[in-house]
Amino acid sequence: MTVSSPVRLIHPKRFGDDRGWFTEVYSEKAFDAVGISVRFVQDNHSLSRPMGTLRGLHYQTPPFGQDKLVRCVVGSIFDVAVDIRRGSPTYGKWVGAELSAENGCQLFIPIGFAHGFLTLTPDAQVSYKCSNVYAPANDGGIRWNDPDIGIVWPLPEGVSPTLSAKDEKAQMLKEFVSPFEYDGNPLQPLEF
């Protein structure tokens, strides 16, 4: 895990035997030891029935910004974080990773990054921890297919994702006035 990168791909250890496996998905002490000192206050769980469901790119503005720890508990997703911190040399850049029930990986996404995911299987379930409560007045989004960001979503050619009405009309990055400040840590490629 790269300590200087704000977005981190986490590989919790699994301990298995003939019954299956056990994993510790979150430990305040272990996360604190690698520089992720966040107090989580809310857990969310979503079900996306159709394969190709796209949720995002979402963020919450201060004072209700949210750090997120995302994992896929059924099926698989392509999970993305986009740097939206003003003054960042990686503003508008993105990183993504496949999270699945099989690989057990998690993505830590700090405040100042927009988050979204595409389901790669039907009936995908995603569980994520948040460092702040949901605040509808502070909820925002950036368009999933903004050409200035250029996310390469793993969709078959010619196939459009299933979107919410809110996500269909989200603003473009060039229309967004960021309330998030750059903290000196540029976005780095994820370590697999």
Q: For residues 26 and 32, what is the distance between their CA atoms, to the nearest angstrom? A: 11
- Residue 115 annotated as catalytic: no
- Residue 128 annotated as catalytic: yes
Q: In the chain, where are the structural domains located?
A: 8-175
Give residue 2's pLDDT.
37
The superfamily (CATH) of domain 8-175 is: Jelly Rolls (2.60.120.10)
- The answer to whether 161 touches 168, Cβ cutoff 8 Å, is no
| Alpha helices (H) in 21-152, listed in sequence order | 28-33
Query: Encoding tokens for residue 183?
Result: 């903290």
Amino acid letter for position 152? V
- 68-74 β-sheet, strand order: 8-10, 106-109, 68-74, 124-130, 42-48
Options 26, 45, 58, 115, the catalytic residue: 58
Give residue 1's pLDDT.
35
Query: Encoding tokens for residue 76?
Result: 């698989």
- How far CA 2 is from CA of 24, 175, 192, in Å, comes to 20, 32, 10
Query: Encoding tokens for residue 131?
Result: 């460092």
Give residue 3's pLDDT.
40
Give residue 191's pLDDT.
87
Query: Encoding tokens for residue 82?
Result: 């986009």
> Whole-prediction pTM value?
0.96
Measured in Å, how far apart are the chain's first and last C-alpha atoms?
8
- pLDDT, tens digit only, all 192 positions of the chain: 334 589 999 999 999 999 999 999 999 999 999 999 999 999 999 999 999 999 999 999 999 999 999 999 999 999 999 999 999 999 999 999 999 999 999 999 999 999 999 999 999 999 999 999 999 999 999 999 999 999 999 998 889 999 999 999 999 999 999 999 999 999 999 988
Is the C-alpha dihedral spanning 31, 7, 162, 120 positive or negative? negative
Give residue 4's pLDDT.
58
Is the C-alpha dihedral spanning 55, 188, 72, 153 positive or negative? positive
Query: Encoding tokens for residue 191?
Result: 């370590």
Options 115, 128, 134, 182, the catalytic residue: 128
